[in-house]
Every structure is written in C-alpha cells, then in structure tokens.
Amino acid sequence: MSTIKKIGVFTSGGDSPGMNAAVRAVVRTAKNFDLNVVGIRHGYYGMIQKDFVELDGISVSNIIQQGGTILKSARSADFKTEEGRAKAAQNIKDYDIDALVAIGGDGTFQGATSFYKEHNIPVIGIPGTIDNDLSGTDETIGYDTALNTAMDAIDKIRDTADAHDRMFLVEVMGREAGFIALETGIAGGAELILLPETLTRMPEIKSSLSDVFRAQRRSSLIVVAEGDETGGAVKLADELKGDFGKYDMRVCILGHIQRGGKPTARDRVLSSRLGAAAVQSLMDGHTNVMVGLVNGEVKVSPLHNTWSKKKSINYELLELAKMLS
C-alpha cells in the first residue's frame, strides 16, 4: 500500500509484558520501509485527546526488556460512542496518520473493528494480553511471562505450605479464560485446578481433597482462576471450611503481579516477530486483521474472529492434570 506514509501505534486495555518489544519492532520495521511512526499515548483515550508523540529508532532503544508499556494504556468510555470515534478519526486524519497498529486484547480489537468500519482507517492488530484468549494465535504477547511469574510464586507458596502442612488456595488471573490457571497448575503440581471453562461441583472438590488428605500428603495446593464459578479463592475457602476446618487453610491472590516484570525471551521474540509482521501486513495491503503465530508461522486472521470465536483450552492438559494430581 504505497499510500501509507505514516503509521500510528498504540497499546490498549490491560498491559502485558512484551508490549514494549512489539512497539519497538513496529517502529524499526516501519523505518526500514521509510515510514514515519507516531505513538498514540493512553490508547483510545489518547486518540481522542490528541496525545501523539513522534517515534524513531532512538526513542525505542533499550525498551525491549521493559515490562508495562511506554505508550501507557487506558480505558475510554468516549471511544465506545460514535461521537467519540468520529473525534478520534478526525484527529488521526489531521495528524496525517494513514494506518494504525493496535496492540491489545479483545476489547481493543472490538474498538478497532468499529473504528475501521465507520472511518475506513486501515488497522492491524497485535495480540497483547496475558490471558491468551484470542483466536488466531497459539500464544498472545505476555502469556509466557505471566505463566512464569505465577509459577515462580506458586513454587514459593509450595515451600511454605510444606513447612507448615497447610492447604493453599492460589488465585490467578483469568476472568473468562483458564489458560494461566491450567498451565501453572500443572507446572506447580496442584492437586486441583478450577477453571471458568469447566463446571465446578463442590461435592467433587471435597471428595478430591479428602483423597488428598487420606494419602497423608504434607500439603495441598489448589489453583483457582479468578473467573471460576465458585467466585474465586476467598469464597471457595469459605465453602471448604465447614468440611476441612481442622486443616490450616490459606488464600493467596496473585493479582497484578502477573502483569508486571521483564518479558521472557519467548515473549520478546514473539513480540518482535508480530510487530514486524504487522507493518509488513499493512504494506502487503491487509487491513482489519490480526497477526498471530500458528504452528510457528505468522498468520493473519480477520479481527472480528479473534474474539467472536472462543479459543478453547487444551482439554488433554486438563485430563493430564487430574491424572498427575
């Protein structure tokens, strides 16, 4: 698309480790095509407020290892309205921005889809969310780092659980998707893993825990996704106290620690590949799509499909977790 001379890049929604690496890749790949790049700070909110900053190769130096996002992120109620999107579109045009690269999750991509349909500004999505819940890519940026952060915390919790013969209920992020809970539960040797994708039956949970204690294990660990129907680790602990009150029970909510920290090597490479692919896709004439990694290869998917088609967990891993517990 020879008409593209200037690209706008922004991060939106929840931050994830590797977003900075993706911004860096977008900027440096664009420079390779002699394109100018504008950073849009604070996502869609900044788009409406004209919070723009010119980016070049120097401005993205030494950020590949940083967590968070140098472009900041924010939610925008105004952008959810036609009037707000119209104002954002006018600002984009006034600044001579020809195309957008949106780094974020399903909410970001829903906004980008509406924006494209209403104002026909070319847009490419890069999947940046620790939840790993977007179709069209095997992994999202930040997921691997969040897994390792949660696993490291669970390893430390397991140490103190063994020292005191305690039962720990560890809550990890995942309001609608249990990818983090499933894989950290397996990696951390959890006795039970509770996910939004599976029906949680309290009698089965209590029966499983009874088996654990009959086996005279020194400690037990339950990993709970925050979106599990039990209502999270605190409510689950309250439900279990009646039957297991004699055991020393503790709750640990990992929370936003999972969003922070330096991205792993895997996330840095993924971010770099997808950032470069986003610019290349624009140059190849693609728009309203997301770039993702499928079986090791970069693929493009319609932006609408990334959130409308629910990404499934690996149920073989769930059966493995049950067997190993």
**pLDDT (tens digit, 9 = 90+) per residue, 39-74?**
999 999 999 999 999 999 999 999 999 999 999 998
The ranges of the chain annotated as CATH 3.40.50.460 are 143-259
Closest alpha carbon to 9 in 270, 298, 35: 35
User: 204: buried, middle or exposed (CB in 10 Å: 19+, 13-18, 0-12)?
Assistant: exposed
User: 6-142+263-308 is classed in which CATH architecture?
Assistant: 3-Layer(aba) Sandwich (3.40)
Residues 6+ positions from 216 with CB-CB distance below 8 Å:
none
Residues 6+ positions from 90 with CB-CB distance below 8 Å:
none
The 3-class SS string of 90-134 reads HHHHHCCCCEEEEEECHHHHHHHHHHHHHHCCCEEEEEECCCCCC
| Residue from 51, 98, 131, 133 carrying the catalytic annotation | 131
Q: pLDDT tens digits, residue range 97-132?
A: 999 999 999 999 999 999 999 999 999 999 999 999
Greater confidence, 217 or 18? 18
Which tokens go with 184?
């950290």
Is 46 within 8 Å of 57 (Cβ atoms)? no
The ranges of the chain annotated as CATH 3.40.50.450 are 6-142+263-308
State yes or no: is 131 an active-site residue.
yes
Can you name the residues that pair with 291 across neighbouring β-strands?
Answer: 300
Instruction: Tell me the pLDDT band of 242, cut-offs 50, 70 and 90.
Output: confident
pLDDT value for 129: 96
The yes/no answer on whether domain 143-259 falls in CATH 3.40.50.460 is yes
Residue 198 has pLDDT above 90, yes or no: no
Instruction: Tell me the pLDDT band of 289, cut-offs 50, 70 and 90.
Output: very high
Is 170 within 8 Å of 157 (Cβ atoms)? yes
CA–CA separation, 21 and 61 (whole Å): 10
